[in-house]
Structure 1
Amino acid sequence: MSFPVSASPNKVIRINAEKESTRRSANFDPTIWGDYFLSYTGDFKESGDASVKHQELKKEIRTMLRADINKPSQTKLDLIDDIQRLGVSYHFESEIDEILQKMHEANQDCDLGDDENVQELYYISLQFRLLRQNGYKISAADVFNSFKDSNGNFKSFLKRDIRGMLSLYEAAHLRVHGENILNEALTFTVTHLESFTSQSNTQLAAQVNRALNRPIRKSLPRLEAKHYMPIY
């Protein structure tokens, strides 16, 4: 009884190679782009008027930032916050860092808290957040203890200042391990901010509701800029 003998491996390889050599190649039409992308430099060039306006606006902002640089004000805090949240702070990094450095030095020898003025909660919380998110060391306990009562709880009148509560809420997200005061601040602000949004349909309530869902610390810069533009 005879059995068929299979082709040798070398013969199989040779046959496959011949098939490959005779395979039809695709006959694509030439690209409509030609060599455009091979020579494209990628440099964006503004029109003359737009470029001039762009430079004028940057100069104007720098002038505002550098005004009274040795006496940083609450207006400067708002300006820095706006610039960062709008996603254009990379144009003014040196100016912002110089202002924050002055603030940090000034706060080493003074108490930020002012228990007589509820409006201070907004600016103190904002200053704390700006300093910490830009790498400056600042003690949360030293900053926020003045807003607590004799029982160790945050003072009840603070809940009337929604803007200040929102600022404290955002600051609390920059807490580090062991900062119990910021853990307490987060619980305190979330409770009262949620109560506020359930009873109001104002623009501020919409802003608070978004912050509760996505605080600045957890937002992507470009998406945050998109949402902050109409607020600004």
Structure 2
Amino acid sequence: MILWGDRFITQFFDPQVTEKYSKTIKVLKNEVKSMVTAPESNMIDTMNLIDTINTLDRLGISYHFENEIEEKLEQFFNLDTNYEDETYDLYTVALHFRLFRQHGYRIRYDTDGKFQEGLKSDARGLLSLFEASHLRIHGENILDGALAFATSNLISILPSLIGSPLGNQVVHALVQPLHFGIPRLEARYFISIYEEYDQKDETLLRFAKLDFNLLQMLHKEELQEISRDRVVECFFWAMGVYHEPHYSRARIMLAKTIAITSIIDDTYDAYGTIEELDIFTEAIQR
């Protein structure tokens, strides 16, 4: 029996709801765009905002502002920033490193790999370092050490964080770092975490919720077009590659391709004899 039955084939879509969401999102999008491009905001505040709205692993709405974010990151990357200044704590330095690397900037680090004793109790900084260290490349032994340092100390202080939004983030990260997550699932999780923070931005939160729901409606419509047997599972694979609205056709085509590939794979694994598969292989090769 298929887990989801005919759920995606029979569901009803109300175009009035879609239109209502779209109009509200358009207004909120302009507000958030103004926040991202605000000329008076400083580097630290803007980078924190970019991280919060990040499509890769946070609220999942940064795809609306790709050009604006790239302009900001390029501007900040070209600054001669002195990260040894006391303004830049562990959280901030690790965050900037991660964001630059996520967006393809060749950022390096200047450290001897030794961490101060006081950092062992800095939960927010340790979590930021933990996530940043997962973007290390082969041979970056210092970041290997940073990961070990952050992991062991997060585990050590976790009991004191239980029940708090930060504690929930730490638990989630230790199970699955952001870098290994599926963007839509991470967005769904982080929206609920962000909602618990006292200093949350209500505009960002509302925008993220509405955008998530609207995009989910689109994904369900796409599933309705292709849904049968294991196609829902195959569509989820495609969702892990790209979830943005403008990739709708690509998601559908990739899901169909994976479905066909799955059938062929199953044929080889479970249904064909050696003799039959020899003939089948020759046919595929032709």
Same fold per superposition (TM over 0.5): yes
Partner of 1:156 in structure 2?
117
Which residue of 43, 47, 54 maps to 1:77?
47
Instruction: Could you tell me which runs of 5 or more consecutive residues in structure 1 were left unpaired when the two chains were aligned.
Output: 1-36
Contact 1:172 1:182 in 2 (8 A): yes
CA 1:46/1:72 → structure 2, altered by over 3 Å: closer, same or farther?
farther
CA contact (8 A) 2:134 2:179 kept: yes
Partner Cα distance (1:200, 1:66) in 2: 34
Aligned partner letter, 2:97: F
Using the size of structure 2 for normalisation, the TM-score is 0.58
Quote the Cα distance in structure 2 between the aligned partners of 1:48 and 1:170.
Answer: 37
In the alignment, structure 2 segments of 5+ residues that lack a partner are 1-8, 195-286
- For residue 127 of structure 2, what is the aligned residue in structure 1? 166
- Distance of 2:148 and 2:179 partners within structure 1: 17
- Structure 1 residues 186 and 47, CA gap change in structure 2 (3 angstroms): closer
Of 34, 42, 48, 1:63 maps to: 34
User: Which entry has the higher C-alpha Rg, 1 or 2?
Assistant: 1
Asked if the contact 2:154–2:170 (Cα under 8 Å) also holds between the matched residues in 1, the reply is yes
Counterparts of residues 98-137 of structure 1 (less than 5 Å) = 98-106=71-79, 109-114=80-85, 116=86, 120-137=89-106
Q: Is the 8 A contact 1:159 1:165 kept in 2?
A: yes
TM superposition shift of 1:160: 2.1
- Give, as a single letter, the amino acid of the residue that structure 2 aligns with 1:58: K
Greater RCO between the two (CA within 8 Å, min separation 6)?
2
Output the TM-score relative to the length of structure 1.
0.70
Once residues 17 and 167 of structure 2 are traced to their aligned partners in structure 1, the CA distance between those partners, rounded to angstroms, is: 39
Aligned pairs, number: 179
Question: Alpha-carbon deviation of 1:73?
Answer: 2.2
Residue 88 (structure 1) shift = 1.4
Deviation at 1:89, TM superposition (A): 1.3
1:227 aligns with 2:189: yes
Give the secondary-structure state (helix, strand or coil) at the position aligned to 2:83.
coil
Alpha carbons 2:130, 2:151 under 8 Å: kept: yes
Alpha-carbon RMSD across the aligned residues, in angstroms, is: 2.3
Q: Distance in 2 between matches of 1:51 and 1:206?
A: 32
Task: Give the 4+ runs in structure 1 shifted more than 4 A.
Answer: 44-49
The code of the aligned residue for 1:112 comes to Y
Per-residue deviation at 1:62?
A: 0.7
Structure-to-structure mapping, 1:19-34, within 5 angstroms: none
Partner-residue secondary structure (3-state), 2:78: helix
Q: Report percent identity of matched pairs.
A: 43
Distance 2:96 2:160 in 1: 29
Are 2:49 and 1:87 equivalent residues in the alignment? no
Offset, 1:110: 3.3
* Cα contact 1:196–1:205 (8 A) shared by 2: no
Mapped contact 2:168–2:193 kept (Cα < 8 A): no
Distance 1:209 1:88 in 2: 24
Q: Is the Cα–Cα contact under 8 Å of residues 113 and 124 in structure 1 kept in the other structure? A: no
